[in-house]
Structure 1
């Protein structure tokens, strides 16, 4: 019962998107490029990874269901509809992240510093990954917007923020949050 209450509280907190930001202001956020766009993978039922998970085999992983596929397509449509310029799309090696990137943007590059470190099996990678991610961002030229399709734990560690499946968080290179968009019910 306690878990249900926590989930309800979290879901309620995820429904706010771009509070106080008009459509024109929203477009201005992206106008000059140079933004970090963190996207938690789209909806994949369950949590964590199943027993026997293998990073090289999508059949052993939690993957997007039809709702997650549709959510990913909405994410891509959102970027095209608003003419948001994208420099690069980077994805975790996890299949649910690659699927999100594929359905939303068609092309992407894989970077292991975006991988989940939620499970005990991968938790020892956390410090190394975060260091590599921050180094990548530090060296990124920032001319266009950089999309990072990743996991809850990575976004939480970098931005100190809870995010829902498919949520988009826009930040500057100093990790200041400029806006959020929940795509779960849009």
Structure 2
């Protein structure tokens, strides 16, 4: 069983932990910049200091920071990768991803999301539950897509974009 650390100990981090568990990964710790946050789970410790990361060297990681913190998610992910941690794609077993789509490093895809043919999702992007991305869409790096979004075909989403819950983006919008 592979071990994983999760940076972010609130809602998005808990969602990531559940997908990691679905995939047979063992969450061994949470990390967070906010020292006022306690571990959300009694059996998993939380750490705050980047120096404490050294004890987990070479483990897998994901960054569970959501919504308008996508640039932070990206920067922390890059820093962890530079420190020798191994980024992992977290794709829920309850999501569908077309085999012809390209999902880059560190992407999170949550339950009930549907990724259709020839979609590209840039590194460290987060696709919330029940998102539908139709054919030939391009999603830039560090994007956050809230729950219930629909992208019609051939849509392009720029780097570090945040899209709010329930949005529908019509075909060929760039």
Higher helix share: 1
Of structures 1 and 2, the one scoring higher in RCO (CA 8 A, sep 6+) is 1
Asked if Structure 1 and Structure 2 have the same fold, meaning a TM-score greater than 0.5 normalized by the shorter chain, the answer is no
TM value normalised by structure 2: 0.29
TM value normalised by structure 1: 0.27
Higher strand share: 2
